Structure 1
Amino acid sequence: MSDSAYILQVKTAIETLKNELPSLFETDLSYDIYTKDIYFRDPVNTFKGKFNYRIIFWTLRFHGQLFFTSLYFDLHDVKQTADDTILANWTVRGTLRVPWKACIFFNGYSTYKLTPEGLIYEHIDTWDRQPKEILQQFFRRGDK
């Protein structure tokens, strides 16, 4: 792959992430910027394969609509930080569908690794707090 084709593919990946991530709780992703054997890891999940990757986002949408009255993925920044790396900074926030209107809030970042063809083969999420601490937010009364 030529350098210009690689640069174009990376730009496409960045633009796709910028366009799709903010609505990931409402609409599906396109998945054409990922390899078929993409590796995903966050503090509670680890798996490989595009089918499983699609399932995790379907699960996020399903549980988001089932358990939350509002749920947002605030994308702050997406940029290429190295030749083979894209970094996305974000916040998840929402209100649970419970009488006490518990609020969830945590920050994180996604590190995407790129193949020589500019496709994403690895997606690692890092959160600013432990899953246990996020789960404890479910039992606190909301601000409203």
Structure 2
Amino acid sequence: MPIATSPKYTSPEYMDRVRTAIATLKQDLPTLFEKDISYDIYTSDIVFADPVNQFKGKFNYRIIYWTLRFHGRLFFTDLHFDLHRIRHVATDVIMAYWTVRGTLRLPWKPRIYFDGASTYKLDADGLIYDHEDSWDRSPGEILKQFFQKGS
């Protein structure tokens, strides 16, 4: 039986966990550059991938969020994660659509801007075991923004 059609995926407990995951993401993502997120909705062996990183494990997942906050404060005068929409798109998948925007701490004040989507896959207990980010442009195109004068 395919995993997403298992009776466990339609139980009230599973759906409560999905609702909790969505509510937690809605609360955590807009402030991820300012404060730590909650890790209760993730499995201990969560897998993460984006166009420049890939790793496994909740400890490493915590480190990536710490790194985002540290570098955000160090290199940006302002940095924002604008969450546009979160949707439960399949029994075991949540999608989040967002924009990162900010101003680098450089004399010419370059502005950084890119859109992205996060795909969160849920296990039969309703915990996120896989988080994959995609961006609307390549890392190189984003890096080019560092050298453009801000408006």
Same fold per TM (> 0.5)? yes
Mapped to 2, the partners of 1:95 and 1:136 lie a distance apart of: 14
TM-score (norm 2): 0.94
User: Structure 2: where are the runs of 5+ without partners?
Assistant: 1-7
Deviation per residue, 1:16-50 (Å, 9 max, x gap): 00001000000001100000000000000000000
User: Structure 1: where are the runs of 5+ without partners?
Assistant: none
Mapped to 1, the partners of 2:58 and 2:32 lie a distance apart of: 16
Equivalenced residue count is 143
User: Segments of 4+ in structure 1 off by > 2 A?
Assistant: none
Mapped to 1, the partners of 2:39 and 2:59 lie a distance apart of: 10
Deviation per residue, 1:68-93 (Å, 9 max, x gap): 00000000001100000000000000
Mapped to 2, the partners of 1:122 and 1:135 lie a distance apart of: 26
Deviation per residue, 1:69-118 (Å, 9 max, x gap): 00000000011000000000000000000000000000000000000000
Percent identity, please: 65
Alignment RMSD, CA only? Answer: 0.8
Mapped to 1, the partners of 2:102 and 2:83 lie a distance apart of: 14
Mapped to 2, the partners of 1:30 and 1:107 lie a distance apart of: 23
Deviation, structure 1 residue 8: 0.3
Deviation per residue, 1:104-143 (Å, 9 max, x gap): 0000000000000000000000000000000010010001
Secondary structure class of the residue paired with 1:117 = coil
